[in-house]
Structure 1
Amino acid sequence: MPRHGRRVRPPEAAIRGNRVAQIAVALIAAHLAVRAVLAFGGFFYWDDLILIGRAGTQGLLSPSFLFDDHDGHVMPGAFLLSGAIIRVAPFSWWLAALSLVVLQLLATLALLRALHTILGWRPVLLIPLVFALFTPLAVPGFAWWAAGLNSLPMIAALAWVCADAVLLVRTGIQRYAVTAVLVYVGGLMFFEKAAVIPFAAFAVAALLAYVGGDRAAVVTVWRRGIRLWAAAGAVTVAWVGVYLLVVDQQRWSLDFAMTWDLLWRSVTHGIVPGLAGGPWEWQRWAPASPWGTPTGAVMILGWLALAAVFAVSVARKQRIGPVWAVAVGYALACQVPIYLMRSSRFTALELAQTLRYLPDFVVVSALLMAVGFCAPNRGGSGWLNTSAARTAVVVTAVVAFVASSAYSTVTFNRIWRDSPVPAYIANARAGLAEARANSNAPMLDQEVDPLILQRVAWPENLASHMFALLDDRPEFAAATTDLRMLDRQGRVVDALVTWVRAIRPGPAQQCGYLVQPDFPVRMPLDGPLLPADWTAEINYLANSDGSLTMSLAEGPEVKVPVRPGLNRVFVRLAGAGDAVNVRANTAALSVCISPGPVGFVAPR
């Protein structure tokens, strides 16, 4: 105890560290406020609607739900989390947006831990932190819910495992190996790209040892972390096996020319402008997601910023070359698997400008920046020592970067909000509720508007899947007596069947086609139908309640209920051919069918 109760002043380093920690917390709070505006101002889009459809039609714990080949992704954790949120509040965006903010907070705190593990509370910690918090390179991967469910848990795991690897090598405490492997497994559950985490962690730990003076850094890190690397390797091999079992490998492309074009475009129009806070401007063609359209000015600023940082780092720091080599290598390697799955001669280069594949690059860049600050200074670089001039230059550059990034974020948010989905969903929910109140008849199932979800997402683009979790709606069926449809704005309107083809008049006098249990009928059309989802208007006279089975000449069968008397039913028939096959399922049922149209459903 100090004498006479006099208070001992904390050392200067502790005061500085406390100030750095306070500034870091303030920066994180500002960052989360920006991300909250982005999240709560958005809405469900494309893959989000696929997640909604799957959660409404499958069991949340079923293997078919958790281990689905989702456009080349294996992500059971993301499916489970999204499914739980959707089941609690279907089409309620606030809970999905809240999950994005919470996941972003976890990822940010994991990054702060990793930066502190490498640098302590040195003021230079704020530079990589500011870059990671505010660069637009990470914005598109956050705002889109499905992308955020992939990338945010992954980058949280990436930062945590890197910190654990450094601590394991530094202290030898084996619990860091255990926690690192557990977190790594968690990251893999959300995004198969998390397989890069052990390699990134090894590189960060080895580079930190190397810049610290260990000439045998690779050997040292391998030996001290062998339990982590061995366990992570075994997990990676097992996960690769699961991935190969789940994913259709035919989606992989060998169009290396297009892959290279995408990589180069991601550098020139994505990463480099992002170093200066770009791209500033974005474009969007519905239903595509936004892509950056950097101006020549921000591209030049990006190259100048990159050249300046490289020149200053080489002039100031020793042993910095391998750090730059790993940064460049990761920037390319982290994107190659994605583009091999997406590239073909039909792929638009704008894919590389969407920036949604770069959040992990942002984290790795921040960590490598921190490692670079740990390298010893070169002799003769005293002109770069602490001074008022250096502080002014650094603060000016940081403020300019944040301002540029803020502008890019604002322009992204403006174009991201320009979506037809919110109005379509609102109209559909209101229209379906009214349709249920006005009629007991089911609605004929249909595809939603292509600007909302296209046929490549089948069957999740069907109204029966997208709106499966709504309580206040009609049932969806393959046959109905009241033909209604969702129009392009999502409104429920009365509909009719267009005359693409027609059922020819039948042979039976005053009956048309007589269908009985022992006498199935083939009703020829006035022309062939190509493969599609068609709708037939069936005008009939039945003697009793019962059911028919109908199908096109090439297509699946559909069960159609019938009522006694003169009635009309509309039947959805998938397939192709030049005739409709009909048979009666109910004993003693007799049905006369007259000519009618076969075509598409259109508003009346």
Structure 2
Amino acid sequence: MLNTGTNVGDTMRAETLPADRPQAPVPEQTADGRSRVSRWWPLSGTRVLQIAFALIGLQLVVRGLVLSRGYFYWDDLILTGRSGSMSLLSPQFLFYDHDGHFMPAAFLVAGIATRLAPYNWLVPALILLVLQALASLALLRLLLLILGRRPAVLVPLVFYLFSPLTLPAFAWWAAGLNALPLQIGLAWVAGDAIRLCRTGSARYAISGFLVFAASLQFFEKAVLVPMAAFVAVALVYRVDGRARPIRAAATRGALLWAPTLLLAVVWSLIYRLTVTIDLARYDRASATEMLWHATSKGLLPTLFGGPWTWDRWPPSPPWADPPVVLIGASGVLAAAVVVATIVWKRRVAWVWIAVGAYVFASIAAMVVTRSGADTTFELGQTLRYLTDSAVIIAIALAVILRAPARTARAGSGRGPAPAVALLSAFVAGSLVSTATFADSWRDDTTRDYLANARSALAAHRDVPLLEQPTSIWVLLPVAHPHNLVSHVLGPLPDRPEFAAATPELRMLDDDGRLVDAEVTWVRTIDPGPEPGCGHRIGTDISELPLDGPLAGWEWTVRLNYLASADGEITASLQQGDPVTVPVRRGPNSVFVRLTGGGGLLEIRAMDPDLTLCVGSGPVGVVVPSR
């Protein structure tokens, strides 16, 4: 058991994997009893920890700079809009099917942030930084459990901390609320699994179960966390030379595997009942092309500090756009690393097989759920579907470094210079990729749109604003109804009411500025039969003919009327639901947004004491006034 006076490296060796196994391999010993590692890279365990914490601090500084150039984007607006209009603890809010995602905890965190400070980017940025810090510390804990306080622990740590592979999901708040808790779960539960197998203490089973349960609430992919932890334990057993590593891992970690498996089954049933799973239609050629883009143009260049450059079609997110030479070089280097480590270390081939299986499963999930006729292959280059692979690869590197060398000569080192040079080159390339990503991510219209809309709406709170979609440069119509201004701008405290009818027609332009607007004459309300009145409206439904039929769509009607008193009427198209419209005594106009189609406008008064005369007017779409 633990001796509190020993360091983590000594503890790792003392807590055998089980008690009757041989001591885990340690770095080869020289004639004077000192390890070769300590001779060519003489860092104490304390100094290794200091460097590790400094690297994590540097990562957070770099990621903070990236966030300073970012802002709310796409799904962030959907999360914020729903948070501003619904009860945060309601099932409708928490268990919403968000494009196939089941993430009640992510909704809750977004809701709390919105209630605290709607559209204040500082709050989401701090949340992302805290989650990133937790993920980095959880991985450091796991790496120390596998390698101890050896300088080798810095290799997988540096890869994870600075790899551009995790960057796109981190910078996007909605994606980060999925990806970062998953990364925390992968690292922490694997660490608890190792501690449980070494000590047999139930507290690690309890801790691992709770972290797994929490990560499941943020992202459905977290269902893979226990499996990844099991494989990590089994691989550690294998490289240590343990007989029957899978059986040993299953037996020693049963206190963790049993409850997490049960939870995964129950959660899967809830997920299936809550979420509609639409499998994409794809063919073999499209799937192959998506695989190529996700790996050769996406994943592989990031393993070596790429992609260096990014491309973007606003309002889409940036995607990796590596130069051809990096695409070719990264493929060759990846193959060389796999071969070299298998030649150098014993029993590590299965480590790479496990990594390949995880990456392939992630890409396969992306293909069957996201690809289709309208999906571009660049989707795989956005990297956010592979971001958790960074944790898996870091674990794999640690297990490989733990494995014994095939010969004493192979295990000897040439000094720290080559390792430091390679890590420095990786970090330099990664920082270039980070800087170019931040520049691309900053090219976004949402910040200016929301800033202008906030000030414009605050200055015109007295007149209702007609419901309308936001700029297509902020949210495309495919996000309907979440692209409507009532959803996007609803959380703002100082604003007018969003309504289906208004006496003054204004609209937000693509820059978020409030401008006067008018209705185009797509169709016209025919003049009424009653001289001096037009169409007389009472409590019975009156049908006002149009000069032609309308296709089913969202239309705006300008009603020019003379009312006998203040009151309310209902209005609808021939094929559509009615909306309630307030009217004022005397001659006035009101602009009404109606959904539907047909060749008639149907109107009736809701008060028997109210009568109206309605004249001719346009039915069409809202455009800025000339």
Q: Give the TM interval when normalised to the shorter protein.
A: over 0.9
2:188 matched residue in structure 1: 160
Identify the match of residue 404 of structure 1 among 426, 429, 434. Answer: 429
Q: Does 1:393 align with 2:393?
A: no
The two structures have a TM-score, normalised by structure 2, of 0.92
1:135 matched residue in structure 2: 163
Identify the match of residue 510 of structure 1 among 501, 508, 532. Answer: 532
The one-character-per-residue Cα deviations of 1:35-78 (angstroms, maximum 9, x if unpaired) are 11011221000000001110011110001100111011000010
Q: Distance in 2 between matches of 1:320 and 1:220?
A: 18
2:521 matched residue in structure 1: 499
- The Cα shift of 1:15 comes to 6.2
Q: Distance in 2 between matches of 1:365 and 1:67?
A: 32
| RMSD of aligned Cα (Å) | 1.6
1:211 matched residue in structure 2: 239
Q: Distance in 2 between matches of 1:339 and 1:435?
A: 47
Structure 1, unaligned stretches of length 5 or more?
1-9
Q: Distance in 1 between matches of 2:93 and 2:136?
A: 30
- The Cα shift of 1:259 comes to 3.2
1:223 matched residue in structure 2: 251
Identify the match of residue 122 of structure 1 among 122, 129, 150. Answer: 150
Q: Distance in 2 between matches of 1:267 and 1:496?
A: 50
- The Cα shift of 1:405 comes to 0.7
Q: Does 1:356 align with 2:384?
A: yes
CA gap 1:233/1:252 in 2 versus in 1, 3 angstroms: farther
1:200 matched residue in structure 2: 228
Identify the match of residue 537 of structure 1 among 536, 543, 558. Answer: 558
1:559 matched residue in structure 2: 580
Secondary structure of 1:71's counterpart equals: coil
Percentage of pairs with the same residue: 47
2:22 matched residue in structure 1: none
Secondary structure of 2:316's counterpart equals: coil
Q: Distance in 2 between matches of 1:284 and 1:55?
A: 29
Q: Distance in 2 between matches of 1:75 and 1:599?
A: 39
- The Cα shift of 1:312 comes to 2.2
Identify the match of residue 614 of structure 2 among 587, 593, 597. Answer: 593
- The Cα shift of 1:386 comes to 2.1
Equivalent position amino acid for 2:458 in 1: A
Equivalent position amino acid for 1:359 in 2: T
The two structures have a TM-score, normalised by structure 1, of 0.95
Q: Does 1:431 align with 2:456?
A: yes
- The Cα shift of 1:251 comes to 4.7
The one-character-per-residue Cα deviations of 1:445-484 (angstroms, maximum 9, x if unpaired) are 1110111012222222111111112221111111110111
Q: Please say if residues 318 and 440 of structure 2, whose CA atoms lie closer than 8 Å, have aligned partners that are also in contact.
A: yes
1:467 matched residue in structure 2: 489
Identify the match of residue 498 of structure 2 among 476, 490, 495. Answer: 476
1:6 matched residue in structure 2: none
2:111 matched residue in structure 1: 83
Q: Distance in 2 between matches of 1:98 and 1:305?
A: 36
1:62 matched residue in structure 2: 90
Q: Distance in 1 between matches of 2:138 and 2:529?
A: 76
Q: Please say if residues 317 and 372 of structure 1, whose CA atoms lie closer than 8 Å, have aligned partners that are also in contact.
A: yes
Identify the match of residue 473 of structure 2 among 432, 443, 451. Answer: 451
- The Cα shift of 1:133 comes to 0.6
The one-character-per-residue Cα deviations of 1:504-546 (angstroms, maximum 9, x if unpaired) are 11111211111111x3211111111112111000000111121
Q: Distance in 1 between matches of 2:367 and 2:147?
A: 34
- The Cα shift of 1:254 comes to 5.7
Q: Number of residues paired by the alignment?
A: 588
Q: Distance in 1 between matches of 2:291 and 2:99?
A: 20
The one-character-per-residue Cα deviations of 1:207-251 (angstroms, maximum 9, x if unpaired) are 000111112000011111112111111111111111111111235
Q: Please say if residues 255 and 343 of structure 1, whose CA atoms lie closer than 8 Å, have aligned partners that are also in contact.
A: no
Secondary structure of 1:97's counterpart equals: helix
- The Cα shift of 1:373 comes to 1.2
Q: Distance in 2 between matches of 1:81 and 1:256?
A: 39
Q: Distance in 2 between matches of 1:466 and 1:54?
A: 8
Equivalent position amino acid for 2:432 in 1: Y
Equivalent position amino acid for 1:418 in 2: D
Q: Distance in 2 between matches of 1:251 and 1:333?
A: 15
Identify the match of residue 370 of structure 2 among 338, 342, 348. Answer: 342
2:7 matched residue in structure 1: none
Q: Structure 1 stretch 440-449 or stretch 106-115: which is displaced more?
A: 440-449
CA gap 1:465/1:494 in 2 versus in 1, 3 angstroms: same
Q: Does 1:307 align with 2:330?
A: no
CA gap 1:256/1:185 in 2 versus in 1, 3 angstroms: farther
Equivalent position amino acid for 2:69 in 1: G
Q: Please say if residues 541 and 593 of structure 1, whose CA atoms lie closer than 8 Å, have aligned partners that are also in contact.
A: yes
Q: Please say if residues 458 and 494 of structure 2, whose CA atoms lie closer than 8 Å, have aligned partners that are also in contact.
A: yes
Q: Distance in 1 between matches of 2:564 and 2:114?
A: 46
- The Cα shift of 1:311 comes to 2.7
Equivalent position amino acid for 1:69 in 2: D
